[in-house]
Amino acid sequence: MSTATLTPPAPAAPRSAGPRRRRRLLAVASPLTLMLLWELLSRFDVVDSRVLPPPTAVLVRIGELTAGGDLLPHVEATVVRFAAGLSLGVVAGTLVGLTMGLFATPRAILSPIIAMIYPLPRIAMFPLILIIVGFNERANILEITLAPFFTMAISTMGAVLAIDPVYRDVARSFETGTRDLYLRVTLPATLPAIMGSLRVSVGLALMSTTAVEFLAASSGLGYLIWHAWQILSLKDCLAGMVVAGILGSVAYLAVGVLDRWLVPWQRRT
């Protein structure tokens, strides 16, 4: 009687670094191409350089504002407001979303309220916030918090409801406590959706930050952009926009690093 020889499966071939290197090259090349196109359009008077100064002139102006000490205070003010509003909105929205997804009673109470408030423009709610909280920095941060809060709450609730109910049933059969139900069962299952919503929330929080600084601040990149436009200093206006774009890109990349760390099983080639 013969016995079959069991051979271990061949190890998987290592993934080529070529596609990853190509994507990184494209990620760098695409903004540089856009900047080059902008430069050429301004230099050859396809667009009026007085209205749209070339990026080299804008970069020179950024250097002048930085050297003169005029830019960094605005950047610092925007970063503080942006980080505070984003953090509060993400944490509160995720917690509310998890609660609404796990328990029917909070979902029945909060869903109509969120459905009523969510479609309203965030900036339209700012006067009410100013009346309630006062004309101060807390009102600014609360306004910034609203955008990521609703995005995280709605997305997280949907992710929880999409979990196969058998996982919660098994957890309850083992008499899992509420804390473990949140942290050990539901949160890991919804992390991919939460991280995707966080990417969206970064942009929404930065837009809310600049909008608030347009209206109710005497510092920040939004204030710099709006003040420069009022006095028709278009180089300063574009300088503030470019720095705000760089800030958003850095925040977006940081979320990508956090995503790869927290959700390694979702890592893509």
Rounded to whole angstroms, the Cα distance separating 94 from 106 reads 14
The whole-number pLDDT of residue 35 equals 85
For the chain, the helix, strand and coil percentages under 3-state DSSP, each to the nearest 5 = 80, 0, 20
123 phi and psi, to 5 degrees? -70, -25
Provide the pLDDT for residue 1.
Answer: 46
In a domain, 71, yes or no: yes
223 alpha-carbon distance from chain centroid: 21
Per-residue model confidence (pLDDT) at position 42: 83
Token reading at 33: 């191409």
- Considering the domain boundaries, does residue 141 fall inside one? yes
Whole-number pLDDT of residue 95: 94
Residue 2: the pLDDT is 47
The answer to the question of residue 184 being in a domain is yes
Query: Can you tell me the distance from the alpha carbon of 110 to that of 93, in angstroms, rounded to the nearest whole number?
Result: 12
CATH number, position 163: 1.10.3720.10
Residue 115's domain comprises: 57-261
In whole angstroms, give the CA distance from residue 181 to residue 55. 52
- pLDDT of res. 179: 79
Provide the whole-model pTM: 0.82
Total domains, the chain: 1
Mean pLDDT by 10 residues, the chain (269 residues): 50 60 80 86 80 86 90 94 95 94 92 90 87 88 93 93 79 73 82 91 92 88 91 88 92 89 69
